[in-house]
């Protein structure tokens, strides 16, 4: 029995919340944008309240306890030894992604992704004058694998200079194994391709799976990678805007630091560092309880779909709280289906085409990080529509 109550229905509508307040009407259940409907861990709430009570919110210095919290968390939880000098802080993982593309590429070069992929990958690459190069993941049963032959062919393209990895993968839900990550790096090294790994969902891992930091696979992986991470998704503090770029290569790090300043994403707000410290120092049991609850929601989704939505095929969820659902048997384009769910069932989900116009067609993405009662109400509305 968890000491944390994830069944509480927190009222978010009317708080300036993207997930709820961008809904076209007050009767919509939003299962789209990737934040959670749970309050943050108690230690985080206490730390933020204490900081707020000070009453002065000027420019913020990131102090040594911030770096120690990051270093100790990843050493303790993932057996990854990060050196103090390898850490650069910034305001979010998407800004960090744009920083990495700016620092490590020249305009006109290609950035390789595993498609379907997080929609901001496409915009971050294109906004920095580069071309998105997609290698399609292969559907194997209820999960996805890398098409290694195509992956190598795309790395061998002389214009490909960076591989942008999502680990764990959003939206396909894969938690890549150490063997898969090592193989990715070996191919990238053969073709002089740098790896940028977005690891924002690293703490959201389901039973039977283990997150493997890319940089901790081997020294070769560490030296050929830039890692992007943040407590924002795992601890539901995205609005506090704190993330880290981890890079072992001094020259790359110099260029990354320069790009952070060029993009002007170099200053944190007063609440971000205290929230990160509380998350990493005092909230480990909370994240374990959260993952257990999310797994229960996923099992409820799979059971409901099997009984009431037989044309849905829910893909295996290894990590994240964003199940990827195959709806191709419905014979309806993904966007059209999502439009109908919004208009008729009053449930907001994401069409798979957001994550790749070709590779995402025939899928939808759901956010199950909400109280089970809310998830079940949404599913019942969808089943009633069909």
- Given 250, 282, 314, which residue is the final one in a domain? 282
d(C-alpha 325, C-alpha 141), whole Å? 13
Does residue 327 lie in a domain region?
Answer: yes
**Can you give the CATH number for the domain in which 304 is found?**
3.90.1150.10
| pLDDT number for residue 19 | 97
β-sheet bridge partners, residue 143: 140
User: Which of 282, 309, 339 corresponds to the end of one domain?
Assistant: 282
Q: Could you list the residue range(s) of the whole structural domain that residue 129 is in? A: 56-282
Mean pLDDT of 225-246: 98
Rounded CA-CA distance 350/363 in Å is 9
62, 91: one domain: yes
Shared-domain flag, residues 134 and 207 = yes
Q: Let me know whether 157 and 277 are in one domain.
A: yes
Alpha-carbon dihedral of residues 314, 316, 321, 322, nearest 10 degrees? -50
| Structure confidence by residue, pLDDT tens digits, 177-187 | 999 999 999 99
In a domain, 31, yes or no: yes
Residue 277 lies in a domain: yes
* Same domain assignment for residues 275 and 292: no
Question: Residue 108: what pLDDT?
Answer: 97
Using a CB cutoff of 8 Å and minimum separation of 24, what contacts does 293-296 make?
A: 293/2, 293/6, 293/372, 294/204, 294/206, 294/321, 294/368, 294/369, 295/206, 295/207, 296/372
Same domain? 183 vs 317? no
Q: Please check the confidence at residue 386 and state whether its pLDDT lies above 90.
A: no
> What token pair was written down for 324?
């990827």
pTM reported for the whole predicted model: 0.97
**pLDDT for 257 beyond 80:** yes
Mean pLDDT of the 358-362 span: 98
- How far apart (Å, rounded) are the C-alpha atoms in residues 317 and 369? 13
Identify whether residues 31 and 155 lie together within a single domain.
no
Cα four-point dihedral sign 168, 262, 130, 224: negative
Does residue 168 contact residue 211 with C-beta atoms inside 8 Å?
yes
* End-to-end CA, the chain: 36
Which pLDDT does position 1 carry in this prediction? 58
137 within a domain of the structure (yes/no): yes
Domain count, the chain: 2
At a CB cut-off of 8 Å and minimum separation 6, what does 277 contact?
47, 65, 66, 69
Left (φ > 0), alpha (ψ -120 to 50) or beta: where does 189 sit? Answer: alpha
User: Residue 334: which residues within 8 A CB-CB, separation 6 or more?
Assistant: 327, 351, 352, 353, 360, 361, 362, 363, 364
Question: Percent of the chain scored above 90 by pLDDT?
Answer: 99
Q: Quick: pLDDT tens for 334-358.
A: 999 999 999 999 999 999 999 999 9
pLDDT > 80? residue 2: no
For residue 243, give every residue at least 6 positions away whose Cβ sits within 8 Å of its Cβ, in sequence order, or none: 89, 90, 91, 92, 93, 95, 96, 200, 228, 229, 230, 232
Assess whether 212 and 328 both reside in one domain.
Answer: no
Residue 144: what pLDDT? 98
Residues 11 and 14: their CA atoms lie apart, in Å, by: 8
Which of 282, 306, 325 is a domain's end point? 282
CATH code (residue 228): 3.40.640.10
Residue-by-residue DSSP string for 284-309: HHHHHHHHHHHHHHHHHHHHHHHHH-
Same-domain pairing of 105 and 242: yes
In a domain, 47, yes or no: no
């Amino acid at each position: 029995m968890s000491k944390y109550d994830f069944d509480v229905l927190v009222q978010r509508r009317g708080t300036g919340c993207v997930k709820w307040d961008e809904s076209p009407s007050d009767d919509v259940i939003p299962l789209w944008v990737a934040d959670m409907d749970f309050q943050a861990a108690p230690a985080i709430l206490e730390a933020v309240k204490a900081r707020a009570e000070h009453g002065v919110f000027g420019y913020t210095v990131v102090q040594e306890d911030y770096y120690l919290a990051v270093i100790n968390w990843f050493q303790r939880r993932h057996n990854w030894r990060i050196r103090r000098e390898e850490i650069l802080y910034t305001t979010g993982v998407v800004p960090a992604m744009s920083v990495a593309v700016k620092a490590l590429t020249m305009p006109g070069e290609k950035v390789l992704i595993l498609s379907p992929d997080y929609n901001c990958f496409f915009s971050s690459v294109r906004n920095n004058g580069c071309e998105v190069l997609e290698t399609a993941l292969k559907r194997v049963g209820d999960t996805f694998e890398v098409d290694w032959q195509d992956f190598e062919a795309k790395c061998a393209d002389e214009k490909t200079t960076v591989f942008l990895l999502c680990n764990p993968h959003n939206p396909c839900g894969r938690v890549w194994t150490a063997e898969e990550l090592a193989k990715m790096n070996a191919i990238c090294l053969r073709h002089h391709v740098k790896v940028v790994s977005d690891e924002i969902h690293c703490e959201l891992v389901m039973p039977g799976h283990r997150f493997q930091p890319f940089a901790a696979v081997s020294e070769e992986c560490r030296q050929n990678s830039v890692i992007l991470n943040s407590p924002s998704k795992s601890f539901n503090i995205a609005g506090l805007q704190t993330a880290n770029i981890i890079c072992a290569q001094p020259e790359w790090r110099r260029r990354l630091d320069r790009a952070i300043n060029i993009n002007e994403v170099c200053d944190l707000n007063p609440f971000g560092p205290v929230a990160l410290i509380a998350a990493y120092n005092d909230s480990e049991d909370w994240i374990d309880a959260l993952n257990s609850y999310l797994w229960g929601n996923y099992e409820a989704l799979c059971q409901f779909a099997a009984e009431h939505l037989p044309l849905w095929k829910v893909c295996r969820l290894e990590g994240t709280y964003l199940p990827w659902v195959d709806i191709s048997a419905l014979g309806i384009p993904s966007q059209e289906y999502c439009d109908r769910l919004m208009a008729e069932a009053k449930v907001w989900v994401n069409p798979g085409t957001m994550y790749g116009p070709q590779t995402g067609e025939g899928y939808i993405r759901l956010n199950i990080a909400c109280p089970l009662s809310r998830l079940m109400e949404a599913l019942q509305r969808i089943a009633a529509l069909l």
